[in-house]
Amino acid sequence: MYVIFFGPPGVGKGTQAVIIADRKGWAHISTGDMLRAHVANGTDLGLKAKEYMDKGLLTPDDLVIDMFLHRLAELRPDQGFVLDGFPRTLPQAQALDAALAKQQKSIDIAINIHGSDDVLMERMLNRAKDSGRTDDTPEAIRTRLEVQKPPVELLGHYRDAGKLKDVDGLPEIEVVTESLLKVLEGVGK
């Protein structure tokens, strides 16, 4: 099954994506993790992306799409995936659709994990203490919360296709996991 997790920074979509991918035997694709690896390895892409990441801004589409499509091409044809942090813009969603369509495939479900700004800000400030991330300054966190909520047109793209579901990301981790599993069961694949 091909699944997307949407959600604002701090809502726990990364944590949930790891849990769900593990339970289902799917690939977990996090473009944030991939970009951080590029930064750590000092690649050209990493050097370019770091400027945006450290400010809490989105990395430009051309850089991220190219990196993502290479990762997608590495998957086995029968392997499911959960996307965590991609797509974040409509052009990214269109690139994803086009890549899957070439193999007569498409996204099965997109889940919008949501939560209130106040709680998310507090969670992210707490996480920042031991994350070691260079974009976990209070200023960058504020910017990420402001500019990195899934845009309306991106959610609309999946809602119009009848593929968008909502899940509350604020309860305990296990409760959110159960809600996500229930939604996935409902897809019936």
Angle between helices 44-55 and 31-41 (to 10 degrees): 120
Minimum separation from the CB atom of position 166 to ligand AMP (A)? 20
Q: Is 36 a known active-site residue?
A: no
Q: Is 144 a known active-site residue?
A: yes
Strand positions, DSSP E, 88-149: 109-114
Helices and strands, counts by H and E, the chain:
9, 5
Q: Report the residue number, 9 or 165, with the smaller CB distance to ligand AMP.
A: 9
Angle between helices 173-187 and 13-24 (to 10 degrees): 50
Minimum separation from the CB atom of position 132 to ligand AMP (A)? 13
Q: Report the residue number, 81 or 104, with the smaller CB distance to ligand AMP.
A: 81
Is 70 buried (19+), middle (13-18) or exposed (0-12) by CB count in 10 A? exposed
Binding interface with ligand AMP (CB under 6 A): 9, 31-32, 35, 52-53, 56-59, 64, 85-86, 88, 92, 135, 144
The two structure tokens encoding residue 55: 């400010």
Exactly one of 127, 142, 159, 163 is catalytic; which is it? 127
Minimum separation from the CB atom of position 97 to ligand AMP (A)? 15
Q: Is 133 a known active-site residue?
A: yes
Minimum separation from the CB atom of position 80 to ligand AMP (A)? 19
Q: Is 142 a known active-site residue?
A: no
Q: Report the residue number, 3 or 178, with the smaller CB distance to ligand AMP.
A: 3
Is 99 buried (19+), middle (13-18) or exposed (0-12) by CB count in 10 A? middle
Distances (CA, A) of 49 to 37, 124, 139, 147, 148: 11, 21, 18, 16, 15
Q: Is 76 a known active-site residue?
A: no
Exactly one of 24, 48, 71, 133 is catalytic; which is it? 133
Active site residues: 13, 88, 127, 133, 144
